[in-house]
Amino acid sequence: MTALLTEAFLTALLTGAIMAGIPLLLAGLGEMISERAGVLNLGIEGMMMVGAFLGFYVNWRTGSGALGFLAGAGGGMAMATVMVLFCVRRGINQIVIGIGLTLFAGGLTAMLHYYAFARSYPRLGARDTLEIPVLSQIPVIGQSLFNTHPVVYLSIALIAATGWVMRRTNLGLAIRAAGDKPAAADTAGVEIMAIRTAAVLFAGTMAGLGGAFLSTVSASVFVPFMTHGDGYIGIVLAMLSRGRPIWVLVGALIFGACLSMTTALQVAGIGIPTDVIQMLPFAAVLLVLILFGRSANPPPALTVFYARGSR
């Protein structure tokens, strides 16, 4: 009996960690690439908000989860285009534009929600799952890992793919060089602006996907400002991972577990206000920063503008 209970509990915890962790993972992965290329993207939170709204809205209108994800990714990418034009092409302060984009996205998505749904918060139907035969029969991890949303598999594949690109390919080398020493990389024939443009657009797309996952899969509902700091947790993940996607995955699952405790404890009916439980992930992030923050060394050219022939 107790064995059964723990298995059910562990499955629920792992499922919750994945559901809450995937948005963090996608945002953190995109931010990591962007930071390695030398662009600090503080607009990631806003890009997630746009992805969350568009993903939800398109899914709700068309009934298609895939279209929702496409719209979310596109929305995140569109926001990132502003960052490219202002920061990568013109060298305007990345921090200010990032904060501005986040504020803008918060206001815009809240207005869009109001004009689309007034004060109602419609819910989406059941989420898609893709069951992998045999593997899904493994106890505990079977149902949570191998009978889940397709985007979860996609995210894990993206972690593996970016890990390979960053460590084994010329493109990965060029990305790292753009953040470490752009002038030297430029001399070696690397197009810094092109690399950084691609990196920022990738970050926006990932953040948009993460936002769409948050609203259409994790929550099945859109609420203004629902990202509630997930983008900033993604930035911390990117900081701590030091260019290794596998650490983004590990961190996302840990913080995701903290976030999912919120729902788990509420379901368990423990009489603590949600506010106390909502503090958990941020307290965990700060604790991790206190313990390991010293080892997070950012790329030297982070936030430094580079254009061929300037100065």
Partner 1 sequence: MTGVNAMEPAVADAAGERLARIGRTLALTALPVAAALAVSAMVLLAFGVDPLEYYAYVLRRSLLSGLGLQSTLTRMAPMLLVAASLILAFRAGLWNLGGDGQFMLGAVAAAAVGPALAGALPVWLVWLACMVAAMAAAAIWGLLPAVLKVRSGINEIVTTMMTSFLGISLANALIKLTFKDPAASEPQTRTLSAAERLPFLGDSTITSGLLIGVVAVLAAHFVLARTSYGFRLRVLGENVPAAIHSGYRTGWLTCSIFAISAGLCGLAGAIEVIGVQGNVRADWNPAYGMMVIPLIYLARFNGLATILFVFLYAMLSIGTESAARRMGVPHYFTYVVISVLLMAIAAVSHLAEHRARTGKARP
Residues binding partner 1 (CB under 8 A): 42, 82, 86, 90-93, 95-97, 99-104, 106-108, 110-111, 114-115, 224, 228-229, 232, 235-236, 239, 273, 275-276, 278-279, 282-283, 285-286, 289-290, 293-294, 296, 298
Tokens at residue 99, please? 């904060």
Specify whether the CB–CB gap between 31 and 243 falls below 8 A: no
In whole angstroms, how close is the CB of 96 to partner 1 at the nearest point?
4
State the Rg of the chain over Cα. 20
Q: How many CB atoms lie within 10 A of CB 288?
A: 17
Q: What is the residue-wise DSSP string for 235-288?
A: HHHHHHHTT-HHHHHHHHHHHHHHHHHHHHHHHTT----HHHHHHHHHHHHHHH
Comparing CB distances to partner 1, the nearer of 8 and 103 is: 103
In whole angstroms, how close is the CB of 263 to partner 1 at the nearest point?
16
Specify whether the CB–CB gap between 299 and 36 falls below 8 A: yes
Comparing CB distances to partner 1, the nearer of 133 and 273 is: 273
Residue 208 to residue 90: CA distance in whole angstroms: 24
First-residue to last-residue Cα distance in the chain: 72
Comparing CB distances to partner 1, the nearer of 43 and 51 is: 43
- Residue type for 13, please? L
Q: How many CB atoms lie within 10 A of CB 149?
A: 21
In whole angstroms, how close is the CB of 126 to partner 1 at the nearest point?
30
In whole angstroms, how close is the CB of 286 to partner 1 at the nearest point?
6
Q: What is the residue-wise DSSP string for 181-246?
A: -HHHHHHTT--HHHHHHHHHHHHHHHHHHHHHHIIIIISSB--TTTTTTHHHHHHHHHHHHTT-HH
In whole angstroms, how close is the CB of 32 to partner 1 at the nearest point?
14
Comparing CB distances to partner 1, the nearer of 21 and 172 is: 21
Residue 238 to residue 299: CA distance in whole angstroms: 11
In whole angstroms, how close is the CB of 235 to partner 1 at the nearest point?
6
Comparing CB distances to partner 1, the nearer of 124 and 285 is: 285
Comparing CB distances to partner 1, the nearer of 237 and 249 is: 237
Residue 192 to residue 189: CA distance in whole angstroms: 9
Q: How far is CA 266 from the centre of its chain?
A: 24
Comparing CB distances to partner 1, the nearer of 127 and 228 is: 228
In whole angstroms, how close is the CB of 41 to partner 1 at the nearest point?
12
Tokens at residue 261, please? 């405790």
Comparing CB distances to partner 1, the nearer of 90 and 168 is: 90
In whole angstroms, how close is the CB of 305 to partner 1 at the nearest point?
10
